[in-house]
Each structure stands twice: as C-alpha cells, then as structure tokens.
Structure 1
C-alpha cells in the first residue's frame, strides 16, 4: 500500500543554502578597495593638473603684467633656489646653499603642519559640538548664531593681530587663528548634515521613547557623515592658511615666520618658493583627505557595500 502523495502545502521545503562565509565582508572590502583605487587615480590627476595650471598662470601673469624680475620670480627661479648650487645672482643669498634652503623649508613646513593640525582638530571638535547643541537646543542657536556671524564678518587679517596681542606670540594664538578659519565652514556643513536625517528614522526614535539626544547619536550623526567628511576636506587647506597667517603675523616660526623674515630681508625668491610649496602641500593634503573620504563613505556611508 503506497503512502498518499503529499500536497504542495505539506511538501517539505528545502533548507536555504547557507551563505558563504565572509560574503558581506568581502563585498564591503571590495567596494572600499574599488572606491579608494578610483579616488587615488582621480586625485593624482587633479594634483598634477592643478600644479600645471598654477605654473602656467604664474608664468603668464609675470609676462602679461610685465612684473619687475627683482620682485616677480619665475618657476625656474624657485627651482634654482632649492636645487641649483650655483644660481644666478639674486636667486639665493651666497651664504646659503641649496641644501640649507631645502632643510630650512622642510623644518618650517613641519612646524606649519603641526600648527595646522592643532587648529584643524580644535576647529572640527568645536564645530561638531556647537552643531550638536544647535540641534539639541533651539535657544542655543538663537543666542550663538548672531555672535558667530559677527565674528565671521570681521576679516581674519584684522582679527589675527588682536588674537596675538591678547595671547602673545604663542602656539595658543596660532592655533586659535587656524581654529577660526576651520570653524565656520565646518559648522555650516555639519549643521546641514545633522538636519538632513530622514524624518521616518527620527519618528522611530520618538515612538520608542527616545529623546533629542538619542536621535542625535543614533540617527543624525551617522546621517551627517557625508557632510562631516566634506567639512574635513574643505577645512584642511583652510587650516594651512590659518596656520601660515598666524605664523606670518607672529614672525617667528613655520612657513609664515620664514616668509615674513625673507620679505624683511628682501629675499624675494625665497618668498615665492615658500608660497609655492605651501600651495602644493595644501593641494596634496586636499587630495589625501579626498581618498580617506571615499574610503569612509564606501565603508560606512549611505551606499556602503554597493559596487
């Protein structure tokens, strides 16, 4: 006697095939690697093109405006300043060798990078804290924003001497100048990111009894990651500018101090050389941060794990 045939509803279903171990992690790793690879190639191209365009504009500007060679130095003069042991008269002081010129520039660059890093970190932390307070407390934004706009409306060149007058020619003053440069662009970007969180996600937090702080930590800060990384990217060159400005006004250390000293001694080629190196370093830092931004967004951004 044969057993009755089972109906489709009663038929046993096959167990789902187990997913291969590491599939999600492999997909995410591949996505991050692909994003980084694409960004590295694109950033390298941007750096090269930017430097070429800068050199062309530099050379053309000297020719078009017929700038006196005693004041306006060419890219060739800058190259000779750093690498020619026997340059023509006026390119470099005779008592200074090419090796000494490079050593002084590298030492000053390290100081400026340190000052810029301090201003960048403090500025980003303050921007994130203030932006969070804007979201948590409406009254805080109402009270703080006019002060922020007032500070923003004062030219930094006019504000920096006052900062140095109050705090003296110290690292604190230079860091504060860099912080001010970083703070306001970062603050605007982060506030926009925090307020771009999906209303549905915020409603879920409220329905489950969460307050504004819980919504900020669980939803708004993660959703603001693209804006936060964009703020980091645009603030890095600003931190370099702020550090050099503070050093230039104080006149003692870093690229800014070295430029102020060279200008006072009439070493025009050194001024141009240091300014050019500062611009190239800012472009390179921007490119590096762009690569880090791409990796972070590929790993944790809204489209993380997608090819």
Structure 2
C-alpha cells in the first residue's frame, strides 16, 4: 500500500538522519525467533555496488539497530532462549513461556533516481524484492555475527526465520511514501502422505534424506549446507549401490594405496554394468564436477566469500537431478 505519513523509528535513527543526511531510505524491520548474544546497539557499514544487485546498483551506507527483549506468556518456546515456563493446566501439556528474542531494524541508504524503479519492481513482485533486500542484509550481518561470536552461538541467515516482512520507503524526515507489510507463510500446506506411510515400513534411504535437506537449505538461503548435503547425497547414493549390488564392495574403495574418487567409482560401476546411463562419461564427469568441486572447495578452504554460493548450490542440485533422471 502507499501512504504519506510520519514514521517514528526512534531517537537513535532520527539522530543518525540529522548527522548523516540521505535522499531516501528503505526501512526494514522484523523479529527473529532466537536471541542474538550481542548487546543492544546501533551499527553501520558500507556496501559495494553489487551488494543488492539487480535491485540497487550503487555504493551505499546501511545502518541497523539490534534490539533484544524478554517476552512473557508465549505459547511456543524458543531454541536456547527460553528463560522460564509454567503450566497453564496441570492435566495436559499446556505451558506458557518467558523467552528472549531479537529484532533488527535496518535503514538502507537510497537515492532519488532509484525511486521509480524500486516502486515499480515492488508493484510487480513486492515480496520477492523485499526478501532479496532483507536477505542480503541478513547474510552480511549474521555472517559477521557468526565470525565474531567465538562459537557461543551461530545462525544460518534466512528471511524464512523472520516473523513478518515489513518494507517502508522513507525520506530523511521519516515521512513514509510507500509501505508494505506481509506475513511469512511459505510451507503451510498439506501433501499426500502415501509416500510417508510407505517409508515408515521400509529402510531409510539416506541419500534421499540428504538431497531433500539440500533442496530445503537452498530454498531458505543456506547455500553452504545445500552444497555439502548435495555432495553427501550423491556419494551416499553411489556407496549404497556399491554395497547392495557388487560382490566385492572393498574393491571400489582403493586401488593400491590410493582411495578411489567418486568419479572413478562411477566409471567402474558403469564398466562393470552395475550402473547405466543415457549420458556419456564425459557428460557425467562434467555433472559430477558440479557436485563435487563446490564441496571440495569448502572442505579445503578455497571459499573466500560466503555470499556468492547461490549459483554453485543451484548447479549442484541440478546436476544431481540430471544424473538421477538419466540412470537406466
């Protein structure tokens, strides 16, 4: 919805605006279902022109306020953040909880010549634009949080954890020109449970569980986990095939003193007719590389930027699917 009204983000943001004038700003606010161990505070950083690509393509400042609060009489406890609880009814499992949680309010510096483009993009696909901007901020802030928290706490940054999505287009006097607020429902649906009933009475298919976790991790922006889990899923699939189909599984582990690579295992399975594909070996090698190389880079410390993993994770999942679709 559009509006022309005064927004009061609090003295700390208003003081910042007086000392750091900006043409326009995008103001985001949301709460998270966990407690960040940082002190309440106000923080600033600057970003390069590709930080919000393709929506905002300029260098700009970002400021944010972290606010942690104690909430009582909650019906749902929070992970590592439930302070106390008491029963509502002693006859059934029915409690109320006192929890700590944290919220972020983020101000993205924006320029007048970006205004019309952003408003049009929001009108065309508001939720996608909001998620993209929020996710970029969350990734940077929470990657830095994880980097400095000394292992006391760590968060996988995801807009899917936010209670709601709130987007405001403001001027330096905090008059709102454009505002939209939406809930954050993404998985509230029912699926056919026949496959679940069948799975309960059969062996666990490890590779499929890892692959599905990888797909969900990708959907919720956890690209590190997606890359690793896709690779685990593929190697689990091949290893399961070796141990269930071949008479001498150990022969697929080593040749002399050297351990066999996953690519060599696949070739050997194909040469021995335990695995057949509509694809030729060169195509299979290319797809295996898309799965194995990103994981290997992470394991061997060759990842130098955590915010550029989306394409690698996407190609990894796609490669797995293409291989699965072409086995015979």
TM range (shorter): under 0.3
TM-score, scaled to structure 1: 0.24
Determine which structure has the larger helix proportion and give its number. 1
TM-score, scaled to structure 2: 0.23
Determine which structure has the larger strand proportion and give its number. 2
